A and B are shown apart, each in its own frame.
Chain A
Amino acid sequence: MSEPTTSPQSTTPPEVTTPPAATTPSAAPAGQPASTRTGPGRLLVGVYGLFALSASARAAVQIATKFHHAPVAYLLSAFAGVVYIIATVTLANGSPTARRIALVSCSVEFAGVLAIGTWSVLDPATFPDATVWSGYGSGYGFVPLVLPVFGLLWLRYWSRRTRAPG
């Protein structure tokens, strides 16, 4: 170690003995994303936004034009759309409150894709028209199944980083 023995007459500049953790807590460490919407979050929020738009637009058209054809499927599509919108907005915001809401919406999303996926496989008659979550998101390249996992991992990374300083 190059650190000299401390003495009252030491000419060592103070910054040498200052621990790096003394920087302002709000500043992001070098090489780390500054918020939940930057770094990998940029991609995550982008994909969430894509699904928020497609799921809610699709549900709106289905409910407006042929609601009685498959009411359960269309209402679930609308619910999925709302969940995606909440996740997109809260992940893009990134405040502690927003991250708490995002945690709930990503969890609901993950439970939803598993439950609706299983329901649609066991009882296809209820789903004459597909939703984003039927077949575990098979109509969307299984992205709806993978997306909440990445969302939850991203939120866990942030919760650990903000709890443990440095």
Chain B
Amino acid sequence: MSSVNGTVPTIIIVAGLALAGYSLLMTALNRRMGFVLLVALGVLEILLLVLVGMVVAKLAEGGRPSSLPTLIGYLIAIPIVPVVAGFWGAMERSRWGPAVIAVAGLVAAVLMVRLHEIWPVIHV
């Protein structure tokens, strides 16, 4: 059984942490949500969708994690995170909008580690 290549999860962790750092900098500088943050969030969303596709392909090959319902829950929740954070943050007209995006970046990184714990064939 081959494993999911670790490149995409690793890129997501780095991208998520970078997005969180940049967003927190915007909060510290008292900036509102801007175009750059929404584009960065879109890039993170695309990466997460690629990852979900890879994991679904792994399931289609016949691989099974120890808890399939948990994995399916994660596969549903993962792509929702940047979308909800984007809308919730864009509604805010203060420095706290970027702070919401920072949480989404951190959550994306943490979810990659959790995915590996749920199903170790998904490398980080």
Residues of A within 8 A of B (CB): 33, 38-43, 45-47, 49-50, 53-54, 57-58, 61, 64-65, 141
Task: Report the bound CA distance from A145 to B85 in whole Å.
Answer: 23
Q: Smallest Cβ distance from B68 to chain A, in angstroms?
A: 9
A42 and B103 contact, CB distance less than 8 A:
no
30 contacts between A and B (CB under 8 A): A33-B94, A38-B92, A38-B93, A38-B94, A39-B92, A39-B96, A42-B91, A42-B92, A42-B94, A42-B96, A42-B100, A43-B99, A43-B100, A45-B88, A46-B85, A46-B100, A46-B103, A50-B103, A50-B107, A53-B77, A57-B73, A57-B77, A58-B70, A61-B67, A61-B69, A61-B70, A61-B73, A64-B69, A65-B69, A141-B110
B99 and A42 contact, CB distance less than 8 A:
yes
Main secondary structure of the interface of B (DSSP, over half): helix
Q: How large is the interface on B (under 10, 10 to 19, 20 to 34, 35 or more residues)?
A: 20 to 34
Counted as pairs of residues, one from A and one from B, with CB atoms less than 8 Å apart, the total is 47
Check A43/B69 contact, CB under 8 A, given A33-B94, A57-B77.
no
A46 and B88 contact, CB distance less than 8 A:
yes
Residues of chain A with a CB closer than 8 A to B94's CB: 33, 38-39, 42
- Picked from B91, B93, B103, the residue with its CB within 8 Å of the CB of A47 is B103
